């Protein structure tokens, strides 16, 4: 008989079990299953709004499936990973984990849930529809080769941890107001992200106007050994303060980030962008980025359950 454990906080040994499952999925699929936001929430033990769902079966010393919800700015993100040896059980594991996640959200007062899926198949569409979920956002992964051969014509500097934190939060939260994952960041989230092994202030380019932070481009170099991927440089977060939009800064800061990555010997750049972010998609296309793959979300607005406070 299958056992489903629901964890609002993750212990170290449970994180290790889940990591083994994620590694097995990464080896089978050639890419890491959880998005960065969810992965960091998992390895950091789970912030408020986190729930991890561990499915296990007798006779298997590893979880057969793992699902997670993490609370973002205005919605929960949900992802589901089935162990490569148990994918034939998708039709039963999927609904159990989805229903459990919806129950947890209902019990916590309800809210929007986005189930993120890498290149959904008809099986995902069916599972989503059975759970009352409708097609929602799409996220492009775009890529281009480096170097770009294009000149950076604005001055940038490295981010200074500590003294730039509040200015960065202000630009980020103003630029991404209403964005599901990137908006509404707190100093805690930001400081936690700065503790990541890949964090490099030199790769976090900042442009000031009259002593005020006007735009930034935060890059990330993927460790190929750690995540089972090719060496890649990522435009991790880029934004221009709304007071300075439309002056060419988005283009210049992207180029500054790409120049930094190329300087580190990276030959392939990638980024994630919402398909309906017309300004950003057209900026990236203009700079030679092309769509590499698509993640899609199925969305459901979960009502609070009777006992919710």
- The answer to whether residue 282 forms part of the interface with ligand COA (CB under 6 A) is yes
CB of 266 to ligand COA, least distance (A): 18
Phi, psi of 278 (to 5 degrees): -60, -45
Near ligand COA by CB under 6 A: residue from 273, 296, 300, 302? 273
3-state secondary structure of 76: strand
**Of 16, 226, 279, 293, the one binding ligand COA by CB under 6 A:** 279
Region 222-251 residues binding ligand COA, contact defined as CB under 6 A: 238-240, 245-251
Binding letters toward ligand COA, positions 251-270, x by CB under 6 A: x-------------------
Binding mask 176-195 for ligand COA (x = CB under 6 A): x-------------------
Closest-by-Cβ residue to ligand COA is 250
SS3 164: coil
Nearest approach, Cβ of residue 247 and ligand COA (Å): 5
Residue 7 vs 179, nearer CB to ligand COA: 179
| CB contact at 8 A, 276 and 210 | no
Interface with ligand COA by CB under 6 A: which range of 17-25, 195-203, 271-279, 293-301? Answer: 271-279
Number of residues that bind ligand COA (CB under 6 A): 20
- Residue partners of 188: CB distance under 8 A and separation at least 6: none
280 lies in the site for ligand COA, by CB under 6 A = yes
* Coil, strand or helix at 233: strand
CB of 243 vs ligand COA, minimal distance in Å = 11
Q: How far is the CB of 142 from ligand COA (least distance, A)?
A: 9
Alpha helix segments (H runs only) across the chain: 12-29, 36-43, 90-107, 122-130, 165-175, 187-194, 224-227, 249-263, 278-286
- State the Cα–Cα distance between residues 173 and 178, nearest whole angstrom: 9
| 110 to 7, 106, 307: CA distances (angstroms) | 18, 4, 11
- What are φ and ψ of residue 262, in 5° steps? -60, -35
CA-wise closest residue to 101 among 227, 8, 224: 8
Residue 286 Cβ vs ligand COA, minimum distance, rounded to whole Å: 5
Q: How many residues does the chain have?
A: 309
Name the minimum Å distance from CB 137 to ligand COA.
Answer: 13
- Counting Cα atoms < 13 Å in the Cβ hemisphere of 16 gives 4
**Nearest distance, CB of residue 248 and ligand COA, angstroms:** 4
- Find out whether 287 and 143 touch, Cβ atoms under 8 Å: no
For residues 166 and 282, which CB has a smaller minimum distance to ligand COA in the complex?
Answer: 282
Binding site for ligand COA (CB under 6 A): 175-176, 238-240, 245-251, 273, 277-280, 282-283, 286
């Amino acid at each position: 008989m299958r056992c489903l454990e629901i964890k609002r906080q993750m212990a170290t040994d449970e994180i290790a079990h889940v990591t083994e499952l994620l590694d097995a999925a990464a080896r089978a699929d050639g890419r890491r299953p959880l998005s960065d936001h969810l992965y960091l929430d998992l390895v950091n033990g789970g912030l408020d709004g986190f729930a991890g769902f561990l499915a296990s079966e007798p006779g298997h010393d590893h979880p057969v499936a793992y699902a997670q919800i993490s609370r973002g700015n205005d919605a929960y993100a949900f992802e589901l990973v089935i162990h490569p040896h148990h994918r034939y059980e998708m039709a039963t594991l999927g609904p159990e984990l989805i229903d459990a996640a919806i129950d947890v959200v209902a019990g916590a007062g309800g809210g929007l849930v986005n189930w993120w899926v890498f290149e959904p198949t008809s099986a995902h569409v069916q599972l989503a529809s059975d759970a009352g979920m409708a097609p929602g956002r799409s996220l492009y992964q775009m890529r281009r080769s480096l170097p770009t051969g294009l000149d950076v014509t604005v001055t940038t500097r490295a981010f200074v941890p500590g003294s730039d934190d509040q200015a960065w939060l202000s630009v980020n939260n103003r630029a991404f107001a209403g964005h599901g994952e990137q908006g509404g960041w707190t100093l805690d989230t930001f400081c936690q992200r700065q503790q990541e092994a890949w964090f490099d202030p030199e790769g976090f380019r900042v442009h000031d106007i009259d002593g005020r932070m006007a735009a930034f481009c935060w890059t990330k170099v993927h460790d190929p050994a750690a995540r089972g991927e090719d060496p890649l440089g990522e435009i991790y977060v880029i934004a221009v303060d709304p007071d300075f939009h439309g002056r060419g800064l988005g283009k210049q800061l992207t180029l500054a980030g790409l120049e930094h990555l190329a300087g580190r010997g990276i030959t392939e750049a990638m980024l994630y962008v919402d398909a309906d972010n017309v300004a950003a998609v057209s900026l990236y296309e203009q700079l030679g980025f092309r769509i590499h793959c698509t993640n899609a979300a199925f969305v459901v607005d979960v009502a609070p359950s009777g006992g919710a406070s």
